[in-house]
Amino acid sequence: MTKNKHLALYGGKPVRNAYLPYGRQWIDEEDIKAVTKVLQSEFITTGPMITEFEKAIRDFVGTKYAIAFSSGTAALHAACFAAGITENDEVITTSMTFAASSNCILYLGATPVFADIDPKTFTISPEAIKPLINENTKAIITVDYTGTPAEYDEILSLAQEHGLIVIDDAAHALGATYKQRYIGSIADLTMFSFHPVKHITTGEGGIITTDNHQFYEKLVGFRNHGITRDPQKIIGKHEPWYYEMQEIGLNYRMTDIQAALGLSQMKKIGYFLVKRREYAKKYTEAFKDLEGVITPTEQKYSDSSWHLYIIRLDLSKLRVDRNAIFKALQKENIGVNVHYIPVYLHPYYQQLGYKIGLCPNAESLYEEIITLPLFPKMSEEDLNDVIKGVRKVISYYLIN
């Protein structure tokens, strides 16, 4: 008999009548008015709302520059370009992330090198990074997984020692802090994502924050085909209409429609963070003594922004594997998810030669985690339903 032999026995009335997704945007009348105002204006793209939104982000995190892009993936691609990553370069990153965190390295012909995670924080381990650094290493891409900051003191020290650039994929971490500094003001380049399930949304969208003026110039050019109209930079003619493409670039521009939504959303970021932290705390309190479940922990020196709340299953205490628990929670109308499949396990990366077993901690974590619903639009009733559903399912499958 398989470990899943009890799955067919699980059933009964679900704790919820309606399906609850793991994440969902919060759009209110103020957001709608902000977007409508732009639609009725002269500029719906490449206009003044971009500048206002960029200012709101840079003021929030405390950097000199913020450059908006059409998506978080576009922003990561641009960050790698600005960092000068090219063919034959290697970039160290984590596999416990969405594919974009390493795909951006491939876009420029460079090679992703995967370092294992710290088993406590689930973020990239500085100790795992050290032996991977060689003469071809150009940068480190950290990921603030679930909203938990990586170990930046150690990582930045390694980067300085070896002359490396640190790019932070902070798609999960708007509002998170590391030793009382906001994420976005620590790495050389930091990316935030504005997908609908993130802390604020622009529909799709991303941004890079930095204090480096050279990076800023490269980022601005890259999102607009590598074209400049700046008279001080133009090499050739100087007619009023004249412009030049000086580097390769792409159309990665954010629209004013997106920026207007993002700017309106930023007015609510404080409330969004409070709700996420409140709900995460209630989950932890509810599950702290639940056999078969291991709750996430925060480091004393950091404050997570709680993009995701992930429980880890203690499979030694359960009659079934993660797949059965996942399916049972879905039957309860709880929209659980799994974040993430380690990147190098995807078929495309396997074809590139990456092998199973490369990052044991990440692979072990992947087999045992489930993402629970967590977003500000949830009600207390929604939260309590999730708690009831998890306790019901886990209790059912505990080994007696």
The residues carrying an active-site annotation are 198
User: Do 144 and 118 touch, CB atoms closer than 8 A?
Assistant: no
Long-range contacts of 357-363 (CB under 8 A, 24+ apart): 358/95, 358/114, 358/116, 359/94, 359/95, 359/96, 359/114, 359/115, 359/116, 359/117, 359/128, 360/116, 361/116, 361/117, 361/118, 361/119, 361/125, 362/94, 362/95, 362/96, 362/114, 362/116, 362/117
The residue behind tokens 């659980």 is 336
3-class DSSP state of 20: strand
User: Do 5 and 324 touch, CB atoms closer than 8 A?
Assistant: no
CA atoms of 297 and 280, how far apart (whole Å): 11
3-class DSSP state of 345: helix
Residue 105: alpha-carbon gap to chain centroid: 16
Token reading at 147: 């909203």
CA atoms of 188 and 179, how far apart (whole Å): 17
